[in-house]
Amino acid sequence: MRRDIFQAIADPTRRAIITLIAIQAMTPNAIAENFNSTRQAISKHLRILTECEIVKQEQQGREIYYSLEVEKMKEIDKWLEQFRNIWETNFNQLDVLLANMKKQSKK
């Protein structure tokens, strides 16, 4: 069972949950009200998000408040980092390769 942050954000419902609780901590019932699927389905999503440590829980009596572990989102940012300098220098790698190949073939 793969359980990483990229797997976690692959599902649109989970992305929506992340966005929801980023603003304010919420209980599973409150979260589920924003979707068409059952509370149990949302509960399963929350479990996955918890296993990935994107989400943290805080028990308040019989209610559990879920909120975003913002730090974890930085991991996505960190992975993107390697592409940032590529898209900042507006540099087409394929063009370069093909240009080189044409140069080679002329030799």
Partner DNA sequence: TATATATGCAACTATTTGGTTTCGCAAATA
Partner DNA sequence: TATTTGCGAAACCAAATAGTTGCATATATA
Q: Which residues bind a copy of itself (CB under 8 A)?
A: 2, 4, 6-7, 9-10, 12, 15, 19, 21-25, 56, 58, 60, 65, 67-68, 70-71, 73-74, 76-77, 79-80, 82-84, 86-87, 92-94, 97-98, 101
Alpha-carbon separation of residue 59 from 25, 56, 62, 71, 100 (angstroms):
11, 10, 7, 21, 61
CB of 18 to DNA, least distance (A): 13
3-class DSSP state of 69: coil
Query: Binder to DNA among 5, 27, 73, 75 (CB under 7 A)?
Result: 27
Cα–Cα dist 80/88, whole Å:
12
